[in-house]
Amino acid sequence: MVRWEPGAAGRLREAAMALYAEQGYDGTTVAQIADRAGVTARTFFRYFADKREVLFAGSEELERVIADAVIAAPAEAGPMEAVAAGVLAAGEAFVGRRDFARQRYAVVAATPELREREFIKMASLVEAFRAALQERGVAPGRAVLAAETGITVFRVAFERWVEGAEADLVVVIRETLGELSELTS
């Protein structure tokens, strides 16, 4: 019989983050994370493949959020407006999660293995963006440029958000989009 653990995934995520912050990512084991969350290692592996994936779970969800928003943008919206819709939707996914995002950002920045993994995940977000833009009829070459630009804005805004004082990522994204438009005009 598999015992269902309500909220176990969230508790595991918080426990992992606390341990990574306290004793470093490399020095933390799955057993310690499970112990801190009050579950067994077996329960850990029901939710996450390994201690790295605790930090990257949810990125497929983010791909979907972006693609859905791009596709749902008004028919008359140009490529960059559709990109903006995707980036803002991604930003909305982080409402109320800045403390977690800050901790995660610090752990990832400090660990080469995680930085590399993060780069790969960003490439997947670009790909989700690009495919959604092409579904809107944007030409392939332009879709790549628009998708890359969208993720660049997202990354820059995200970094500003975790390092800055503004509580709302969506606000920072809007500012960054405006600044990009000013910069390149």
Binding piece for a second copy, criterion CB under 8 A, among 36-44, 50-58, 93-101, 175-183 = 175-183
- Choose between 6 and 74: whose C-beta lies nearer to a second copy: 74
Site map (CB under 8 A) of a second copy, residues 15-54, x = contact = ----------------------------------------
Handedness of CA 79, 83, 85, 86 (dihedral sign): positive
Site map (CB under 8 A) of a second copy, residues 51-70, x = contact = --------------------
| Cβ density class 151-162: b for 16+ within 10 Å, e for less | bebbeebbebbb
Site map (CB under 8 A) of a second copy, residues 137-166, x = contact = ----xx-xxx-xx--x--xx--xx------
For residue 181, state whether it binds a second copy (rule: CB under 8 A).
yes
Look at the block and give the residue holding tokens 């943008």: 73
DSSP of the chain, one letter per residue?
-PPP-TTHHHHHHHHHHHHHHHH-STT--HHHHHHHHTS-HHHHHHH-SSTTGGGTTTHHHHHHHHHHHHHHS-TT--HHHHHHHHHHHHHHTTTT-HHHHHHHHHHHHH-HHHHHHHHHHHHHHHHHHHHHHHHTT--HHHHHHHHHHHHHHHHHHHHHHHHSS-S-HHHHHHHHHHHHHHHH-
Q: Give the nearest distance from C-beta 43 to a second copy in angstroms.
A: 30
- Choose between 12 and 146: whose C-beta lies nearer to a second copy: 146
Site map (CB under 8 A) of a second copy, residues 112-141, x = contact = x--xx--xx--x-----------------x
Look at the block and give the residue holding tokens 């009050």: 38
- Choose between 28 and 176: whose C-beta lies nearer to a second copy: 176
Among 79, 86, 89, 108, binds a second copy (CB under 8 A): 79
- Where on the chain is the footprint of a second copy (CB under 8 A)? 78-80, 112, 115-116, 119-120, 123, 141-142, 144-146, 148-149, 152, 155-156, 159-160, 176, 179-181, 183-185
